[in-house]
Amino acid sequence: MALFLWILVVAVSGAILFMVMTGMLNAVLPKKSQRDVWFEVNNQILNALFTLMCLYQHPKRFHHLVLLCRWKQEDDVTALRKIYCEKELINPTKERPPVGVGICVSVAIASPAVAGIFRKEILVCFERDDESDLEWRGGVLDIWEDIKVSYLSLLCTFCVFGWNMERIGFGNMYVHIATFVLFCLAPFFIFNLAAINIDNEVVREGLGYMGIVLCVFGLLYGGFWRIQMRKRFKLPGYSFCCGRPAVADCTLWLFCCWCSLAQEVRTANAYEIVEDKLCKRREEEVKADEDGVIDPSCLPEKMR
């Protein structure tokens, strides 16, 4: 109930703040001084609510702090010993039977060995590419090579980016989507919010344009993760920016974000990711000839 009440107050206060910012309440609040008061009050309410959530996010930590401050070394240690060791301080290793210890140690040693053998058998199913053979699937401008990927990259850029990052092992999809949206949209709202209280029209318009320009630089978030993808999977880098692949990756996202994203998705589609490395995809079913004999060419080299 407390969390529901918190969400309700945040929603109401945020809605009022949004309507004041966009001028939807100008008929009710005709004077600028009135709008400034409402803007400042709702700002402070939201700050207080989020601060309150931070303070009470982990109440157990405060409880532990209280218990730690009340801790008395001699008295509390003696009381604990009386509770947990009613007869005497017993060394737990004395009562362990040698047979049980031997069995547990044997299982502990044998389990990693069996797991290693099992893992090796699984990896036989994959043919690893040589690092020099790894490459991006298609050029940067080959966005229409895969129609489905191209349209998804154009129409759902943030969602496709987050989904692609999660499946190649770079974190949660929703976190990437929210962060990318924040980097690309936050400068616009922040600078326009700052421009509300400025009477100079030239400065106000300048802040608005500056917010739009900074939104474009939010695309560097995609460039950063393209760099991480290239380094982890040892993909070739472009050298058209003074021979610096990292600068080239960021440039691709700044000037052709959809093309760059489509190339990354196509590359992830073309490979199988095993232990942070790229492997060629294998067909799930092995082809058989008319006599029912398995074609050796369809098997990995180690199984032929």
Which of residues 66, 101, 120 is at a domain's end?
Answer: 66
Task: Give yes or no: residues 55 and 189 share one domain.
Answer: no
- 120 domain-assigned: no
Instruction: Determine the structural domain holding residue 185 and report its residue range.
Output: 135-280
pLDDT computed for residue 278 by the predictor:
67
- 87 domain-assigned: no
- 91 domain-assigned: no
Task: Give yes or no: residues 48 and 184 share one domain.
Answer: no
Going 152 to 154 to 158 to 161, the CA torsion angle's sign is: positive
pLDDT computed for residue 293 by the predictor:
42
- As separate numbers, helices (DSSP H) first and strands (DSSP E) second, the chain gives 12, 3
pLDDT computed for residue 115 by the predictor:
79
pLDDT computed for residue 275 by the predictor:
62
Task: Give yes or no: residues 268 and 142 share one domain.
Answer: yes
Which of residues 39, 66, 93 is at a domain's end?
Answer: 66
- 17 domain-assigned: yes
**Cα(56)–Cα(278) distance, integer angstroms:** 44
CB-neighbour burial class of residue 180 (10 A; exposed 0-12, middle 13-18, buried 19+): buried
pLDDT < 50 positions in the chain: 126-132, 283-304
Amino acid at 168: I
- 285 domain-assigned: no
- 223 domain-assigned: yes
Two structure tokens written together for 79: 């009381």
pLDDT computed for residue 286 by the predictor:
38
**pTM for this predicted structure:** 0.50
- 104 domain-assigned: no
Q: If phi over 0 gives left and psi between -120 and 50 gives alpha, with beta otherwise, what is residue 138?
A: left
Which of residues 66, 93, 120 is at a domain's end?
Answer: 66
Domain count, the chain: 2
